[in-house]
Structures are given as structure tokens and as C-alpha cells.
Amino acid sequence: MARNLKKIPPLTSEAAERKFWEKHDSTPYVDWSQARTVRLAELKPSTTAISIRLPSDLLERIKTSANRRDVPYQSLIKLWLAEKMEEMGGEA
């Protein structure tokens, strides 16, 4: 059964689009029964570079641990942080 959907207003920028969808439910604008699953294989999660000061001996122990696992030490730090957040239930 076809529904009358509201027309999405012209959005001039990504910021305008974000602002619009922050304040509007998509249900009156989109027929979600027609949605299809899409795999975006090339999409990379956005990241932010940070600077963190660590004691030299701690960094060396992390690098040694990463070397034993044959992974870059930055990747190991990210993995440990993600595991800890999951363990804590993702709370901020």
C-alpha cells in the first residue's frame, strides 16, 4: 500500500542536512519498507589523531607486547581501549 510521503526540503550542505535530520523523524519522509541492505566495503571509520604522554617504560612494554603479537603498537593500544570500554559497558 503506497503512502503519501513528505518531500524532503532542499538541503544546501551536509551541515544543513545534519541539522534537518537531528530535528525530524525520517518516517514521514522515507518508505522504509523499500529499504535494502547495502555493504560499503570501501568505507573507513573516521578517526582522530590524539597525543598522549606515556612513561617511557610503559611505552616500551606496550611495544614489546605488540611485537610478540606481531601488530603495530598503536593498533594494540586501540584494541585494549576498545576492550576496556566494552568491558565497562561502553559508558563514557
Q: Where are the domains of the chain?
A: 56-87
Sign of the CA dihedral with 77 first, then 56, 63, and 44 last: positive
What's the chain's length in residues? 92
CA distance 25 to 32: 12
| Average pLDDT per block of 10 residues along the chain, 92 residues long | 83 93 94 90 88 96 96 96 89 58
pLDDT of residue 45: 82
- Angle of CA points 58, 48, 12, to nearest 5°: 175
pLDDT of residue 1: 52
CA distance 35 to 2: 14
pLDDT of residue 43: 87
CA distance 9 to 20: 9
Q: Hey, what's the cell of 26?
A: 525520517
